[in-house]
Amino acid sequence: MKLSTRTRYGVRLMVVLARNYGKGPVYLKDIANEEEISEKYLSQIIIPLRGIGLVTSSRGAYGGYVLSKPASEIRLREIVEVVEGDCLVDCVKNPSFCSRAETCATRDVWDLLGEKISETLDSITLDQLLEMDKEKHKKPFRKDKKK
């Protein structure tokens, strides 16, 4: 059970957009440089995020991407679900995947586990993540403060 780079990159991408919210569109190229991720790859990952209306794009010179709404109104669950795409186990959503689905107790466990994962991701908003990020990037205290 591995989280794909798509999802990890997708979330990092959204954190950058959150950090720049209100400052106009951000170039994918800049995000790619900042996060050291291939721009082309990011351009694929951002498609579904635009698709569900989490980000808005503008083309042409001085184009770029912006969050469609404040980071406080975006939950990690939305991002992960749409970028990751699939669910833990197919038979949970689609019982016809397995003839045993109706009488399978393990299926109920995977259903529950999927719910817990969703709950956890739903409890975290993008701006909480941004705050955590800011906190982590604070310089440690020094007597001789740098400008």
CA 86/CA 141 separation, integer angstroms: 44
> CB of 106 within 8 A of CB of 59?
no
x-marked contacts with a copy of itself along 20-49 as a string, rule CB under 8 A: ----------------x-------------
**How many angstroms separate the Cα of 39 from the Cα of each of 8, 44, 68, 103, 115?**
15, 9, 21, 47, 33
Contact of 86 with 4, CB cutoff 8 Å: no
How many residues would you count in the chain? 147
Q: Which residue has the tokens 């109920």?
A: 108
Footprint on residues 17-76 left by DNA (CB under 7 A): 25-29, 38, 40-41, 43-44, 46-47, 50, 57-65
- CB-based contact 26:14 (threshold 8 Å): no
Binding residues with a copy of itself: total (CB under 8 A): 38
By the rule CB under 8 A, 140 interacts with a copy of itself: no
* 66/89 with CB nearer a copy of itself: 89
13 interacts with, out of DNA, a copy of itself, none, CB within 5 to 8 A per kind: none
**Which residues are 75's β-sheet partners?**
125
Enumerate binding residues for DNA (CB under 7 A): 2, 4-6, 25-29, 38, 40-41, 43-44, 46-47, 50, 57-65
Kindly list the residues in this chain that would bind a copy of itself in the complex (CB under 8 A): 1-4, 7-8, 11-12, 15, 36, 76, 84, 86, 88-89, 100, 102-106, 108-110, 112-113, 116-117, 120-121, 124, 129-130, 132-133, 135-137
